[in-house]
Structure formats: C-alpha cells, structure tokens
Amino acid sequence: MDLTALREHSPEACRGRETLDRVAEKWTLMVIAMLGERTKRFNELKRECVGISQRMLTVTLRSLERDGLVTRTVHPEIPPRVEYTLTDLGRTMLEAIEPLLVWTESHAARIDAARAAYDAEHPDRQAAGT
C-alpha cells in the first residue's frame, strides 16, 4: 500500500487527511454500519446507535448527507417520516469499513486484556478519569 500522499503537503493530500478526519468522527462508522443493513428512519437509528444523543444523530446525519454519503428523504405525511439511505458513494465507504467493523468485534476482548495488563504493569501511568 502506498501512503505517500498522506504525508504530502499538496491540496490533494490535505483533502485526504480531511476525509480521514471525517471517518474518524465519533459516530460516522456506527451510522454508516447501521445504514449498511438497509434504509432506516431517524428514531430507528437512534435506538440502534446505543449512546448517541438526538442532537449528535442529527448532526452526524446532516454531515454525512453533505458529504454525499447518505440521502435524506422526507415523506410529506403526518406523522412525518424521514428515511436515510446510503448513496452509491456511501456504499463504497461501507465496503471499505467492513473489515474494520469485523476486526473491531473480533478483537475487542484482546484489546481489553492488553489494556488490563498495561494498567497492571504501569500503576503510575494510568489516567485519572478512565
């Protein structure tokens, strides 16, 4: 893999890093993963993204829409119904993060163990509020 571009100072490289930042935003991966299953409504996403607040879901979705990763469809009904769907671009991103999601689930225990071991060996270095 060639990562040369990430280190450069060109405008393209900056965009690459910005995109990396977007990926690294707290709820991006989670929301994309959930929408990867199928089109979903606001409250459905809210229920599934355990721990997300209403506000952050709104902000995240708006941001994903802006980046062309998610489509927002308002159905003019009462009560209102709004559906969110991955765009083609969003689906390419989903494919790109699938290995990471799988890794996350299958290695969580090992990381937990490593963390405990580290904390046991470095009783001094531990952060206060963790």
User: Cβ(94)–Cβ(33) under 8 Å?
Assistant: yes
Closer by beta carbon to DNA, 1 or else 24 = 24
Does 86 interact with DNA (rule: CB under 7 A)?
A: no
Q: Return the H-helix or E-strand segment holding 66.
A: helix 54-66
Nearer to a copy of itself, 83 or 91 (CB): 91
| Binding partner at 67 among DNA, a copy of itself, none, C-beta below 5 to 8 Å by kind | a copy of itself
Q: Does position 61 bind DNA by CB under 7 A? A: yes
The answer to whether residue 91 forms part of the interface with a copy of itself (CB under 8 A) is no
> Is 30 near a copy of itself (CB under 8 A)?
yes
- Residue 31 Cβ vs a copy of itself, minimum distance, rounded to whole Å: 11
Nearest to 33 by CA among 88, 81, 102: 102
Binding status of residue 107 toward DNA by CB under 7 A: no
Q: Three-state DSSP class for 82? A: strand
DSSP summary character for residue 50? T
Please state, in angstroms and rounded to a whole number, the distance separating the CA atoms of residues 9 and 80: 46
Question: How many helices (H) and strands (E) would you count in the chain?
Answer: 6, 3
Q: Could you tell me the smallest distance in angstroms from the CB atom of residue 102 to a copy of itself?
A: 7
Which residue, 24 or 79, is less far from a copy of itself as judged by CB? 24
Distance CA 78, CA 93 (A): 33
Binding site for DNA (CB under 7 A): 25-27, 41-44, 51-56, 58-59, 61-62, 72, 79-82, 84, 129
